[in-house]
Structure formats: structure tokens, C-alpha cells
Amino acid sequence: MAEAGACALIAALVGRLAPGASAREQAEAACVLACLCNHDSRNRDYIRESGGVAALVGLLAPGGSAAVRGNAAGVLCKLCYENAPNKDSVRECGGIAALVALLAPGGAFNEREQAVGAVCNSALTTP
């Protein structure tokens, strides 16, 4: 993906994570961001630089949609994979505590599974 196009797309998707967006918009935007993390490691940096980490951590709060929380945790999992600045950003935004809170009994399987992956990736040493 061309760099300018990737930045613009990522900024637009991060904008859809805002509190005023519908749960469907948030879940879909997080899903697309997760896919973009798979294809280019630079996209993981663009997401952080666009304010995506703070927005995703904000979506982990209790009371919202389980699908949104699961998708947000999934993106955080991918963002932390072999990326020290993203790991730092997740920690600085309070993401570890928010992810651990998703592991409480009674949570949806997807959000718990993604939270485990995100916590593991944030704890692994980056080469």
C-alpha cells in the first residue's frame, strides 16, 4: 500500500473508533485495522502515530459491545507483535490493566482470547 494512502486510510479508520461512532462502525474499523497490521509492519506504526492505541484501549472499557472489545483487543495483540514502541504505548495508555480486566470470568470467548494474545505479545521481548 502506498505510504500516503495507508496513512490516510488508517487515520480515517482510527476516527471511526471514536466514542460517538456506532458499535458496528467501531467493530468494523478495528477489524480492518487488524488486517492492515498483518500486511505491513509500517501500518502498525501508523496506527500508533494516528492515536489508534489510545482509541483502542478506550474501547476495552466495560459496558460496551463484546464484539468491539474483542476486535480492539485483537488489534492491540497485532500492534504489540515485535514492536517495542507500540508495547510502550499500550502500557502508557493503561492497556495492560484494561486487557487483564477482559479476562474476568463470564466474558465473551473472543474478547478473552484476544486479550490473552495482546498481554502475551506486550510481555514478549522484542528482538
Q: What is the pLDDT of residues 34-85, one digit of tens each?
A: 999 987 889 999 999 999 999 999 999 998 899 999 999 999 999 999 899 9
Residue 1 confidence (pLDDT) above 50: no
Average pLDDT value for residue range 15-32: 96
Write the DSSP string, the chain: --HHHHHHHHHHHHHTTSTTS-HHHHHHHHHHHHHHHHH-HHHHHHHHHTTHHHHHHHTTSTTS-HHHHHHHHHHHHHHTTT-HHHHHHHHHTTHHHHHHHTTSTT--HHHHHHHHHHHHHHHSPP-
Q: Which pLDDT score, from 0 to 100, does residue 40 have?
A: 84
What domains, with CATH codes, occur in the chain?
3-123 (1.25.10.10)
- Return d(Cα 42, Cα 87) in angstroms, integer: 15
Q: Please, which pLDDT band fits residue 126 given cuts at 50, 70 and 90?
A: low
